[in-house]
């Protein structure tokens, strides 16, 4: 991949990664609502630990579980993006269910730190190959999926306006 193409790939991946976690940056979006607070970090910031701990769905997962899963998976994807070996077993990252206010605050902070680390890794990458690109795209689409799942839970509970 030439330098110009690598720059475009890096720029666009950075843009959509930011949108997943921070929301829309301008007058249009790729997949979030075009309003303030549409990214995962803002959405989860507005809910309590008690709300994040309510089980739902067939397996009784919680929003706290989704957040921990996204944090862990994002870390794993960044390891794969750098061509290091990473475990594909992500079953343990669903172990978080019920959280206290301090645990919820820490989990949100851990997700923010992992997002910032991932954004720096994507922005610094200029040697994209198929494996690295797949890892980055997978991380972004995975985060977007879980953002949608969290928003649907909040909408169903009357905790988020559509």
pLDDT for residue 111 is more than 80: yes
pLDDT for residue 104 is more than 90: yes
Beta bridge partners of residue 61, listed in sequence order: 56
- The confidence score (pLDDT) of residue 57 equals 80
pLDDT digits 0-9 by tens, 117-142: 999 999 999 999 999 999 999 999 99
Q: How confident is the model at residue 88 (pLDDT cuts 50, 70, 90)?
A: low
Helix (H, G, I), strand (E, B) or coil at 61: strand
For residue 50, what is the enclosing H or E element?
helix 49-52
Query: Which domains, from first to last, does the chain contain?
Result: 3-156 (1.20.120)
Question: Average pLDDT for residues 109-121, to the nearest whole number?
Answer: 97
- The confidence score (pLDDT) of residue 86 equals 59
Question: Average pLDDT for residues 63-70, to the nearest whole number?
Answer: 96
Packing angle, helices 63-81 and 101-124, rounded to 10 = 20
């Amino acid at each position: 991949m030439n330098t110009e193409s690598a720059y475009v790939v890096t720029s666009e991946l950075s843009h959509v990664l930011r949108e997943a976690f921070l929301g829309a940056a301008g007058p249009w979006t790729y997949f979030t609502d075009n309003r303030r607070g549409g990214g995962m970090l803002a959405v989860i910031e507005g809910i309590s630990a008690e709300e994040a701990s309510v089980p739902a769905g067939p397996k009784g997962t919680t929003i706290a579980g989704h957040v921990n899963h996204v944090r862990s998976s994002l870390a794993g994807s960044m390891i794969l993006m750098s061509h290091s070996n990473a475990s594909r077993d992500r079953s343990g990252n669903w172990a978080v269910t019920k959280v206290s206010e301090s645990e919820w605050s820490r989990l949100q902070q851990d997700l923010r730190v992992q997002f910032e680390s991932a954004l720096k890794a994507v922005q610094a990458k200029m040697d994209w190959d198929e494996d690295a690109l797949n890892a980055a795209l997978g991380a972004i689409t995975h985060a977007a999926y879980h953002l949608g799942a969290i928003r649907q839970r909040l909408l169903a509970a009357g905790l988020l306006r559509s």
